[in-house]
Amino acid sequence: MNNHTTISTNVTTDDGMQQGIAGIPAERKAALLSGRNFWETEPIEELGLPPVTLADGTYGLRHQSGSHDHLAMYDSDPATCFPPGVAIGSSWDPKVAARLGSAIGKEALAQGVHIVLGPGINIKRSPLCGRNFEYYSEDPCLTGALAVAFTRGLQKEGPGVSVKHFAANNQETNRQTISADVDERTLREIYLPAFERVVTEAQPATVMASYNKINGVFAAANPWLLTGLLRDEWGFEGVVVSDWNAVTDRVESLRAGLDLEMPGGSAGHDDDVRAALRSGELQESELDASVARLAGLVKYIPTEPTDVNYAAHHEIARELAADCAVLLKNDAQTLPLGQGVRLAVLGEFAEKLRYQGGGSAHVNATQVDQPLDAIKLLAADRGVSLAYSRGFAIDGAEDTGLLDEARGAARDCDVAVIFAGLDERAESEGIDRENLDLPANQVELIRAVAAIAPRTVVVLSNGGVVSLEGWHDDVDAILEAFLLGQGGGHAIADILFGLANPSGHLAESIPLRLNDHPSSLNFPGERGHVRYGEGVMVGYRYFTTFDSPVRYPFGHGLSYTTFTSSAPQVVVSANEEVTVSLQVTNTGNIAGKHVVQVYVATEAGPVRRPARELRGFAKVYLEPGETTSVSIDLPRRALAYWDIQYSRWVVAPGEYRIQVCQDAATVLHDELISLTGDKIITELTMDTPLGEWFEHPQVGAQVYDALGFTGVDISPEHLAMMSSMTMTQFIHISGLPVEAEVLARVMRDSRPA
């Protein structure tokens, strides 16, 4: 950390602080636990501590030094709009996330922001979620690695982060009341691991409790979530802050572990706390830990203001953007564009790029690169002639004049580049989309142009995935640019002309049809509840397990060069951690970046496992002809499932395939390993089903004996029928004279040593 303070305070030691806090009147403590206004905490004058300033910032700062609101109705101070979460997820590059964090951290320092409200790391359960543009991926391993890098990168500059939205906040419909009804295995394996990694590996300053309920209990008032898991299990030491206006019962949320209610400014909830103190419902000591944690935020306040070079940050925004765009299709090497081509650029997004999303994440960009300007500059140097036509109305209105004009341009070109996508009103915080469709007038344009132009390239700008059906096969190349931030226009032009080599990969599956998606049956829920019925089979986990075709799988992304990877060496350590090592070679003629993706596939254990799960990855840069070694560690956890019966992670004994994949659907190398795993011994009771008695590793044989079955030929059907009965039920129905003493002995012997 740099420039950090011990502010002139009468508190120098923990003991001193404890005493200082003890001296603060209870009524005042109640006031400290909510903000003093929309964006600041109360100063703790008794300890000499100034207010802490918070501002949004998942991909750029939204610091409102003027009028305040959280709907982004008022402009915020200019800041760099870096690539949003959807793009950062597609970079598959923790270095990109770390640079983003660091750059936002520097701008926060310059703007006097101490806590940045980001990263947003909710899992993309449904492609319809209106805030998917802010989130990274449908996969927790990818999300977690990027979130750790962002958090470290930002906090290294001095300010703190607020990791959000904790937890299971995966939709916008009824976002302040919806109950995400989700089983614990699914929570532990899919929706919580990214939070767990950030907390355990990067100690974020704050965690933001989300609006929604989890299994009927508000996240912001959920003791299991905020205290049991976050603090007791994961060791979180920072402040839990509410999402803005997420607290319904302040006393309950305080008890559950929520330290700071935001925004502040109205006395209502403070008075509830005071009343609870007076009635004895709350003890003053219950407030002290929260006050102490809030006082601890002082370490994120710098001593001196710093400056930031916004022009240099614009360059960073461009560089990061070029690492995020995903080349989905590139038939006959249509891209990059060659010298001297006659180019038709079509679609208004070329001059008004959609580069970010709406809502609290919205950044007042310092400047915005437009693709058309950047293309014009590069075209001039390359003898490329250029015609431009708006092509369609962004608001969706049919306009045959525009369509005819575009057709005319397509007739006289070698390559048509169409800029299509969703406009900002189509996806935003607060609303979910209803379908994955591109507006009909854009699809009409793409099809019309593809029928005329010798080659057609589509550049897409959208925050959530869009359907490519109805036109995919008609075009030669597709660059999925998602939302690339204010440098996106320049980055897109660089990629089109080959000055940058695309290296993004999909962080979410692109389905053929919305109804193929595993979330479809249960999204966005009804009567206040959304059932996560697909369980752990989220995104590609479902598509690969059920062999359900997609348009493009998770992990897909093309390059202008080619790579090969050697068969991996897989080493299993004594405590059964796995290291995967391999060599990657750039076999093409230009430099590029390759993503090594390592998945684990197993059927071991008593629970249904997805066909394969991403457990590690690395992005490497290679000059043409260069080879490099890559080594990826898979900790035990990467092999485990969450066992609801034992409430713990279990590595099931059995066979595991370590798969190096091109994407979630394409296995390049497959190595089989066998693991001894964890020995989980079930303690038998009279209510345990007979099947478990028979299979018990210690006493299975004794059970056969006790029931008089040894040597008896029992048919598989009879065995199956017996297996589901408890011992009590079996004895009752069979009438067998099994001695109670014998069973008691077997049950005793079944206990874990």
Catalytic residue numbers read 243
Measure the CA–CA gap between 7 and 209, rounded to whole angstroms.
Answer: 29
Nearer to ligand BGC, 290 or 360 (CB): 360
Please report how close the Cβ of residue 238 comes to ligand BGC at its closest, in angstroms: 16
Task: Out of 82, 133, 244, 642, name the contact with ligand BGC by CB under 6 A.
Answer: 244
Task: Out of 40, 42, 46, 56, name the contact with ligand BGC by CB under 6 A.
Answer: 56
Nearer to ligand BGC, 68 or 156 (CB): 68
Q: Which residues pair with 260 in a beta bridge?
A: 241
Nearer to ligand BGC, 117 or 538 (CB): 117
Please report how close the Cβ of residue 121 comes to ligand BGC at its closest, in angstroms: 11
Task: Out of 152, 164, 407, 541, name the contact with ligand BGC by CB under 6 A.
Answer: 164
Nearer to ligand BGC, 40 or 56 (CB): 56
- Residue 243 interacts with ligand BGC (CB under 6 A): yes or no: yes
Nearer to ligand BGC, 117 or 536 (CB): 117
Measure the CA–CA gap between 719 and 703, rounded to whole angstroms.
Answer: 13
Nearer to ligand BGC, 66 or 737 (CB): 66
- Residue 70 interacts with ligand BGC (CB under 6 A): yes or no: yes
- Residue 480 interacts with ligand BGC (CB under 6 A): yes or no: no
Q: Among candidates 161, 198, 163, 197, which has minimal Cα distance to 300?
A: 161
Please report how close the Cβ of residue 5 comes to ligand BGC at its closest, in angstroms: 25
- Residue 559 interacts with ligand BGC (CB under 6 A): yes or no: no
DSSP letter at 392 equals S
Residue appearing with tokens 């995020």: 324
Please report how close the Cβ of residue 236 comes to ligand BGC at its closest, in angstroms: 19
Nearer to ligand BGC, 189 or 243 (CB): 243
Positions 360 through 389 that interact with ligand BGC (CB under 6 A): 360
Positions 498 through 527 that interact with ligand BGC (CB under 6 A): none
- Residue 157 interacts with ligand BGC (CB under 6 A): yes or no: no
C-alpha distances in Å from residue 653, one per residue of 11, 602, 640, 676:
53, 10, 10, 5
Residue 600's SS3 state is: strand
- Residue 152 interacts with ligand BGC (CB under 6 A): yes or no: no
Residue 126's SS3 state is: coil
CB 382 within 8 A of CB 339: yes
Please report how close the Cβ of residue 69 comes to ligand BGC at its closest, in angstroms: 8
Please report how close the Cβ of residue 187 comes to ligand BGC at its closest, in angstroms: 20
Nearer to ligand BGC, 244 or 560 (CB): 244
Long-range contacts of 689-697 (CB under 8 A, 24+ apart): 689/723, 689/724, 689/725, 689/726, 690/722, 690/723, 690/724, 690/725, 690/726, 690/727, 690/730, 691/722, 691/723, 691/724, 693/727, 693/746, 694/719, 694/723, 696/750
Q: Taking the mean position of all CA atoms in its chain, how far away is CA 326?
A: 18
Task: Out of 47, 86, 117, 316, name the contact with ligand BGC by CB under 6 A.
Answer: 117
Contacts with ligand BGC by CB under 6 A: the residue count is: 7
Phi, psi of 526 (to 5 degrees): -150, 155
Positions 674 through 713 that interact with ligand BGC (CB under 6 A): none
> What ranges make up the beta strands (E) of 446-504?
455-461, 477-480
CB 235 within 8 A of CB 199: yes
Provide the token pair at 466.
């869009």
Please report how close the Cβ of residue 56 comes to ligand BGC at its closest, in angstroms: 5
Please report how close the Cβ of residue 164 comes to ligand BGC at its closest, in angstroms: 5
Measure the CA–CA gap between 261 and 257, rounded to whole angstroms.
Answer: 11
Positions 435 through 464 that interact with ligand BGC (CB under 6 A): none
207, HSE (Cβ side, Cα atoms, 13 Å): 32
H/E stretch holding 443: helix 440-452
Catalog residues that contact ligand BGC under the rule CB under 6 A. 56, 70, 117, 164, 243-244, 360
